[in-house]
Amino acid sequence: MFNRPGNRVNQQLALLSDRLSEENPALEGIVDPFRALDRVGYGAGLLDPEEDSYAFTISWWPMVAVLGTFSAGKSTFINDYIGKEVQRSGSQAVDDRFTVISYGSSEKVKELPGLALDGDPRFPFYRVSHEIERLSDGGGRTVDHFLAMKTVSAERLRGRILIDSPGFDADEQRATILQLTDHIIDLSDLVLVFFDARHPEPGAMRDTLEHLVNRVAARNDFTKLVFVLNMIDTTWREDNLEEVVSAWQRAVVRQGNATGRFYCVYNKGAAVEIGDDKVRARYEQKASRDREEIHAKIAEISSSRSYRIVGAMQAIAESMEMDARPALKGAMARWRRNVVRADVVLMALVIALVVWGAQALAGGFAPWLDGTMLEAVQDRPVVSVLAVVLLLVVLGGIHFLNRGWVARRVARSLPEESASGNWRAAFRKNTVFWRSIFRKSPAGLGRGSVRQLHALRDQVEGFVQRLNNQFMDEGAPASGTPAGGAAGGVAGAGAAEPSTESGSRETAGREEQRGQG
């Protein structure tokens, strides 16, 4: 009602705002334009104010997933990157679930159950538990079996999420883990696939290659794939790094991926002692150069994600005006045409029936024409009025039944989920019984709303400027290089954001709301 979000939605947006001010201040102010966009969506019936916000259809925090074979040093790499012992590491298989690591204000690592992720629209795991329950191989497993969350105060976690994963082994893995892996690859901006230089032969990494490499290759997402051969220190005695690397690259390429980047690194703290000074210098140089490039890639995704959020907001506003509005108008026209047609046919039938009944009652048309029946009618005013009222009720009833039938048929052709929201619910809002079938403009999407959408899009332009300034000011400090692809981020604005599992958007309104503003 009144185009305001429900309490829960309101709180979640406030939370989002808070987190942005802490981690990505350049984007903090964009929550208000999102709220304004939501108001138009609520008014049009495209969004359910109790459940939805356009802000929830976006993954706000860029995500880096670290996947790969068992004990390949994934957790060690993550700890080193963050600069804190966030994850346990060990020579045995350690991780059996995905750990989502994000920024928190506490210096100590805080562990939260996976459920914490599920209810939080800041994360791309929002509402993932329904999905997990559906997928999980019986036994009533919950989201906590598959996902954990850790937060800690670390500069490199500001404004981004890292995901550590269990070692990849398709045979062993439950279907749910595999599905989650797919989900995570979909949502991630960058996927680091770790391999172990101790076992670079194709057999040892078969599952990883088949599942991870193939899957991503099949989705044309190559650019976000980074292949990392870790623990190269272990090859120092043979000093055959080139051989190991090329065998590994061949195996990856054979799996259908020739476009991902390849890096070779090792972790100094965990490495074996490299006994030869020359070899050590060479290895160190290679590893530190590659490590820096990986870190730069991680830094880059934050800026491009920021641009994509701004772009997504513009894309939503545009889709409301250019897609939803014309589609609703078209649906309303079809509804109107078919209701009128059905009305004419059915009402003609009823009237024909009445005429036939009248002449049958009088024994032909003559008594009606010469006035004898009219006198008889005038003698019985109550009955006559009742008859007329009855006729009107029947005709009215037919009209409203037609409206309902036709509306249901037309509604079925409209999607419930789209970038601009639930078109079906928005259409239903236009067909409630008190709205005339002759209205042309969709409820809540009149000229006033369109002007508002334009104003919002203009306002968002300002954010692009602000982001440019921010990333230019930042240069390439701890957080890395500014986005080379910044402009590309904006240009790619139309590209659909991976949407979170948004629940069904049921019809929002019985309230008629014209374009507010």
Ligand X SMILES: Nc1nc2c(ncn2[C@@H]2O[C@H](COP(=O)(O)OP(=O)(O)OP(=O)(O)O)[C@@H](O)[C@H]2O)c(=O)[nH]1
> Which CB, 87 or 452, lies closer to Mg ion?
87
Given ligand X, Mg ion, none, residue 418, with its beta carbon under 5 to 8 Å by kind, binds none
Q: Which is nearer to ligand X, 30 or 184 (CB)?
A: 184
State the residue number with the nearest CB to Mg ion: 75
Nearer CB in complex with ligand X: 26/193: 193
Residues that bind Mg ion (CB under 5 A): 74-75, 94-95
Taking the least distance from each CB to ligand X, the nearer of 245 and 486 is: 245
Q: Judge residue 513's burial from the number of C-beta atoms within 10 Å of its C-beta, 0-12 exposed, 13-18 middle, 19 or more buried.
A: buried
Please, which residue, 165 or 304, has the CB nearer to Mg ion?
A: 165
List, in sequence order, every beta strand (DSSP E) within 378-446: none
The 3-state DSSP class for residue 338 equals: helix
Q: Residues with Cβ < 8 Å from 192, sequence gap 6 or more?
A: 64, 65, 66, 67, 68, 77, 226, 228, 294
Structure tokens at 251: 């195996």
Shortest distance, position 319 Cβ to ligand X, whole Å? 41
What does 104 interact with, of ligand X, Mg ion, none (CB < 5 to 8 A by kind)? Answer: none
Torsion sign (Cα): 119, 125, 127, 129: negative
By C-alpha distance, which of 249, 252, 262, 185 is closest to 221?
A: 185
- Binder of residue 304, out of Mg ion, ligand X, none (CB less than 5 to 8 A by kind): none
Question: CA neighbours within 13 Å on the CB side: how many for 52?
Answer: 31
In the bound complex, what is the minimum distance in angstroms from residue 197's beta carbon to ligand X? 8
Give the shortest CB-234-to-ligand X separation in angstroms.
5
Which of Mg ion, ligand X, none binds 266 (CB below 5-8 Å, type-dependent)?
Answer: ligand X
Catalog residues that contact ligand X under the rule CB under 6 A. Answer: 70-76, 89-91, 93-95, 166-167, 230-231, 233-234, 266-267, 270-272
Q: Least distance (Å) from Mg ion to the CB of residue 241?
A: 24
Distance, CA of 23 to CA of 17 (rounded, Å): 10
| Shortest distance (Å) from residue 153 CB to ligand X | 22
Q: Are 55 and 31 in contact (CB under 8 A)?
A: yes
Which of the listed partners (Mg ion, ligand X, none) does 93 bind, with a CB threshold of 5 to 8 Å by partner kind?
A: ligand X
Distance CA 436, CA 405 (A): 16
**Sequence-distant (≥ 6) Cβ neighbours of residue 250 within 8 angstroms:** none
Q: How many CB atoms sit inside 10 A of residue 204's CB?
A: 16
Give me the least distance between CB of 473 and ligand X, in Å please. Answer: 35
513's contact among Mg ion, ligand X, none, with CB below 5 to 8 A by partner kind, is none
> Do 53 and 126 form a contact (C-beta atoms < 8 A)?
no
Q: Which is nearer to ligand X, 72 or 313 (CB)?
A: 72
| Residue number with CB closer to Mg ion (94 or 170) | 94
Closest distance of CB 282 from ligand X, Å: 16
Reading the block at residue 336, the tokens are 């109107």
Q: Name the binder of 73 from Mg ion, ligand X, none, CB < 5-8 A by kind.
A: ligand X
Give, as one character, the DSSP assignment of residue 26: H
196 or 321, CB closer to ligand X? 196
C-alpha to C-alpha distances, 469 to 62, 300, 486, nearest whole angstrom: 20, 15, 12
Least distance (Å) from Mg ion to the CB of residue 80?
13
What gap in Å lies between CA 418 and CA 429, rounded to an integer? 17
76 binds, among ligand X, Mg ion, none (CB under 5 to 8 A by kind): ligand X
The residue to which tokens 């409301």 are assigned: 320
Q: Name which of Mg ion, ligand X, none residue 151 binds, using a CB cut-off of 5 to 8 Å depending on partner kind.
A: none
The CA-atom distances, in angstroms, between 85 and each of 108, 195, 303 are: 10, 21, 26
CB of 480 to ligand X, least distance (A): 22
Nearer to ligand X, 94 or 455 (CB): 94
